[in-house]
Amino acid sequence: MAQHQETNAIRIQTDRTAQMEHSTPLFLTSSFTYNSAEDMAAAFSDDTLDVNIYSRFSNPTVDEFIHKICVLEGAEDGIATGTGMAAVFATFMTFLGQGDHIISAAAVFGSTHTILTKYLPKWGISFDYFDMNQPDSIEALITPHTKMLYVETPSNPGLDIIDIAFVAAICRKHNVLFVVDNCFATPAVQQPLALGADLVLHSATKFIDGQGRVLGGVVAGKKELIHPMYLFVRNTGPSMSPFNAWVLTKSLETLFIRMDRHADSAMKLAKALEHHPALHNVKYPFLPAHPQYEVAKRQMKNGGGIVTFDLKGGIESGRKFLNGLKMLSMTNNLGDSRTIASHPASTTHSKLSAEERTAVGITPGLIRVSVGLEHFDDILADILQALAQC
């Protein structure tokens, strides 16, 4: 391993084949062959053998992507899934069973909210939400049946931040598995495992890909935790495709430089809009006005690539703003090279009730901007001219 993670993200590769390729190869195959019937039998009878059987189980290209993520996150092992939500669901299903209890931050992605509220109760798994702005409230929610605590930090879309080390100490005290969604920050910005988390997961679809091309998810942590998750994915099938893994492992080569550029432009945007007359407020982790600014500065390298602001005119102003954009994309994705604007209340978090949205800071006029890699002046100009129409 190299001393610097930026180098590891580029130089970790699958062993060269006899072709002596420079760029890592794509192992686009559904299965693998054996030299003898005995070797084939051994592969199926001994799970400890480091041998590929079937690409639902393992694949060299997928393994390369996992290995890179593990090195960048400081993890012993990992698993990759077809989507970020598959990573979330696999984590819940591996470690939670009938009668168990999970505590989650109320500020989570809409689909995660749906799993917690609609599907987990079907299997007798209960949940409680806590306010990320009140971490002192967590301990009172823990019961003898609590098995897991789940957070996104920064959260989607409200950019709430929580002190990972503080929560980790509570989880250790009560023997609760601590899972952190690191999607908004990426390992280039934040390493939750080093701060005490047990598992870290990502929607690799976002900043890890960085160009809005493929779907993917990944979970990393200690081997003893990853192995049962590997068995869950192997047996239920939400595995990552080799092609997507090849795209994602190449994307990691530019992750650090991309995140620096995303964050630099996002910080400039937050400062430029902070006192705009059309806005109630602007939120960005490294903006001193952010409620958890000091925590963000302590555990993040930079503030990431997402900025939110609240339009004074509510839903109608939100529509006018989006319709007034000339360059920015309107899509529900984020973490792209292209700057994206979205209106969470009517899209990604529309399944939440008005009360639930308010509780996690999703106001009717909230706009989420995923700041891309275009020239900053062009990003700002488009946003300002659209705000003028509100």
- Whether residue 284 sits in one domain with residue 212: no
Per-residue pLDDT at 334:
96
Tokens representing 71 are 């090195």
- From CA 389, how far away is CA 143, in angstroms rounded? 51
DSSP secondary structure string for all residues of 6-43: HHHHHH--PPP-TT--SSPP----SB---SSHHHHHHH
What 8-state DSSP symbol labels residue 54?
A: B
Kindly report the CATH number assigned to the domain that includes residue 333.
Answer: 3.90.1150.10
- Looking at the structure, tell me whether residues 124 and 225 fall in a common domain: yes
Backbone dihedral region for residue 212 (phi beyond 0: left; psi -120 to 50: alpha; all else: beta)? left
Determine the Cα–Cα distance for residues 94 and 225; give it in Å rounded to an integer: 9
Whether residues 108 and 159 share a domain: the answer is yes
Residue listed under structure tokens 């899934």: 81
- Do both 135 and 161 map to the same domain? yes
Provide the pLDDT for residue 349.
67
Shared domain for 268 and 346, answered yes or no, is yes
Whole-number Cα distances in Å, 352 to 112, 118, 183 = 11, 12, 21
* Three-state DSSP class for residue 233: helix
Cα 44 from Cα 48, distance rounded (Å) = 10
Rg (C-alpha) for the chain, rounded Å, is 21
Question: How many domains, the chain?
Answer: 2
Among residues 220, 239, 254, the one where a domain terminates is 254
Pairing between β-strand 217-221 and β-strand 77-81 as defined by DSSP bridges: antiparallel
Cis peptide before 135 (omega within 30 of 0): no
309 and 185 in a common domain = no
Q: Which among 254, 270, 303 is the end of a domain?
A: 254
Contact 292, 158 (CB under 8 A): no
Residue 11: count other Cβ atoms within 10 Å of its Cβ. Answer: 11
Residue 210 identity: G
What does the buried/exposed string (b/e) look like for 45-60 if buried means 16 or more CB atoms within 10 Å of the residue's CB?
A: eeeeeeebeebbbbbb
211, 239, 254: which is the final residue of a domain? 254
Note whether 335 and 380 are same-domain residues. yes
**Cβ-proximal residues to 138 (8 Å cutoff; 6+ apart), any chain:** 103, 130, 149, 167, 170
The encoded tokens of residue 217 equal 């998810």
**Using CA atoms, how far apart are residues 6 and 24, in angstroms rounded to an integer?**
17
Q: Is the dihedral of CA 97, 99, 107, 168 positive or negative?
A: negative
Tens of pLDDT along 263-297?
Answer: 999 999 999 999 999 999 999 999 999 999 999 99
Asked if residues 307 and 283 have their Cβ atoms less than 8 Å apart, the reply is yes
Predicted local confidence at residue 224, as pLDDT: 98
The C-alpha atoms of residue 261 and residue 114 are separated, in whole angstroms, by 33
Q: What is the CATH number of the domain that holds 235?
A: 3.40.640.10
Q: Give the structural domain span for 234.
A: 5-254
* H or E element at residue 181: strand 177-181
Same domain, 236 and 285: no
Asked if residue 238 and residue 99 are part of one domain, the reply reads yes
Q: Which of 213, 220, 172 is nearest to 199 (CA)?
A: 220
What letter would DSSP give residue 325? -
User: Do 204 and 167 fall into the same domain?
Assistant: yes
217 in Cβ contact with 174 (< 8 Å): no
Eight-class DSSP state of 49? S
Closest CA to 250 of 60, 41, 26: 26
φ/ψ of 217, rounded to 5, equals: -140, 160
152 & 203 share domain:
yes
Q: In terms of residues, how long is the chain? A: 390
In tens, the pLDDT along 158-204 reads 999 999 999 999 999 999 999 999 999 999 999 999 999 999 999 99
> Residue 186: which region, alpha, beta or left (left: phi > 0; alpha: psi -120 to 50)?
left
pLDDT (tens place) for every residue of the chain, 390 residues total: 888 999 999 999 999 999 899 999 999 999 999 999 999 999 988 877 789 999 999 999 999 999 999 999 999 999 999 999 999 999 999 999 999 999 999 999 989 999 999 999 999 999 999 999 999 999 999 999 999 999 999 999 899 999 999 999 999 999 999 999 999 999 999 999 999 999 999 999 999 999 999 999 999 999 999 999 999 999 999 999 999 999 999 999 999 999 999 999 999 999 999 999 999 999 999 999 999 999 999 999 999 999 999 999 888 898 899 999 999 999 989 999 999 999 887 776 677 777 877 777 789 899 999 999 999 999 999 999 999 998
Question: 282 and 162: one domain?
Answer: no
